[in-house]
Amino acid sequence: MSEHIVSKKIYFVIFGALMLGTLLTVLAAFYDMDEKVFHGANTVVALTIAVIKATLVVLYFMHVRYSSRLTWVIVIAGFFWMGIMFALTFSDYWTRPTTSQPKSVSENVEHVR
């Protein structure tokens, strides 16, 4: 398989999309969706835009869309394992019966002050 050269036009289109995403991120951040839509909506919107932007960078600027399947496996595995790290950590913290925060931190509160 020979090298695929991404055209300059595609780079400029992706660049435009990334700038638009940045603008939307800022606008959305100042609009109180937590109050008007649901609690946490601001964070969900910010992260959704960030994930779309990151995906565009990976697929086009980093050429993954035109890369071998082996490259795809490595890329997906990297993010999948990060997902495991988050899922297992939070399955622990969110299911602790007494406290939802690391114990050492809550104990140290008085000492640090």
Partner 1 sequence: MATSHVDAAHSALAHHFDNMEQQREAGNLGMWVFLAQEVMFFGGLFLVYTLYRSSYPEAFAAASNHLNWKLGAVNTVVLIVSSLTMALAVYFAQTGVRRAQVLFLIVTMILGTTFLVIKAIEYYDKYKDHLIPVAGMFQWEGELPHGVATQHVQMFYWIYFAMTGLHALHMIIGLGIMTWLVYHAWRGRFTPEYHAPVEISGLYWHFVDIVWIFLFPLLYLLGRHVGGGH
b/e 2-40 (16+ beta carbons within 10 angstroms → b): eeeeeeeeeeeebeeebeebeebbeeeeeeebeeeeeee
% helix, strand, coil for the chain, step of 5? 75, 0, 25
Does 12 contact partner 1 by CB under 8 A? yes
Distance CA 12, CA 18 (A): 10
One of 47, 65, 96, 103 touching partner 1 (CB under 8 A): 47
List binders of partner 1 among 53-82 (CB under 8 A): 53-54, 57-58, 61-63, 67-68, 70-71, 74-75, 77-79, 81-82
Q: How many CB atoms lie within 10 A of CB 60?
A: 19
Distance CA 63, CA 65 (A): 5
Does 38 contact partner 1 by CB under 8 A? no
Does 37 contact partner 1 by CB under 8 A? no
One of 44, 85, 98, 103 touching partner 1 (CB under 8 A): 85
Binding site residues, partner 1, CB under 8 A: 1-3, 5-6, 8, 11-12, 15, 18-19, 22, 25-26, 29-35, 42-43, 46-47, 49-50, 53-54, 57-58, 61-63, 67-68, 70-71, 74-75, 77-79, 81-82, 85-86, 89-90, 93, 100-102, 105, 109, 112-113
